Chains A and B, each alone.
Chain A
Amino acid sequence: GAVVSQHPSWVICKSGTSVKIECRSLDFQATTMFWYRQFPKQSLMLMATSNEGSKATYEQGVEKDKFLINHASLTLSTLTVTSAHPEDSSFYICSALDKVVNQPQHFGDGTRLSIL
């Protein structure tokens, strides 16, 4: 089945550091990728929609300068949390949508980000 690889799976860093998370579709082409954030015991909250070759569409309340998204190819999207602070600590999950119509989203395994 379709596989989405998300890297890293866990990162701990100091406040003020910028952290890049990668999301790759391994065996299909994804024109659209999505980035979610999940706090403990809560549901996934969509942060942004990333389209290959164009600017990402951010959900209301998500700072685009804080969460930089780049979707440079049909198999790779990156999320960079800039100048991360403890309140940015969360579980970040990406998903990728096959360009074939009516296919489900395929999710990465998530990245646990802990900012000290």
Chain B
Amino acid sequence: SQQGEEDPQALSIQEGENATMNCSYKTSINNLQWYRQNSGRGLVHLILIRSNEREKHSGRLRVTLDTSKKSSSLLITASRAADTASYFCAPCQGGSEKLVFGKGMKLTVNP
């Protein structure tokens, strides 16, 4: 298992703006997953992108994956105050592998 490193560690934006966060990892993966954690709650799975995919969309979320650079990005468009949360990426080599989480990225969307 490997840990993803999110960047930046914190981001504060105004409602309506887009938020971009990046994730870097070190060794080859089968898929990469993004999760959100609201304060005091469990994690919510947002999106899973497989190693043979370059881009994936889900509602206001857009995830890209560049396996040559070992990096992924998560874009949240037209942000809302309810998007305020910590976001984590989890590179996964597949199977029933455990996930190792980094420090995450704390997003604050100001109304």
Contact = CB atoms under 8 A, between A and B. Distances in A.
Interface in B69-105: 88, 94-96, 98-104
B95 A101 contact: yes
B43 A43 contact: no
Interface residues of A, number: 27
Contacts of B102: 43
Interface residues of B, number: 23
A104 B48 contact: yes
A32 interface: yes
Given A43-B88, A102-B31, A93 B43 contact: yes
B15 to A, nearest CB: 24
Interface string A97-116: 10001111111111010000
Interface of B: 30-31, 33, 35, 40-45, 48, 50, 88, 94-96, 98-104
Interface of A: 4, 6, 31-32, 34, 36, 42-44, 46, 49, 51, 91, 93, 95, 97, 101-110, 112
24 contacts: A4-B42, A31-B96, A32-B96, A34-B98, A36-B101, A43-B102, A44-B43, A44-B101, A46-B98, A51-B96, A91-B40, A95-B99, A101-B95, A102-B30, A102-B48, A102-B94, A104-B48, A105-B33, A105-B43, A105-B45, A107-B35, A108-B42, A110-B41, A110-B42
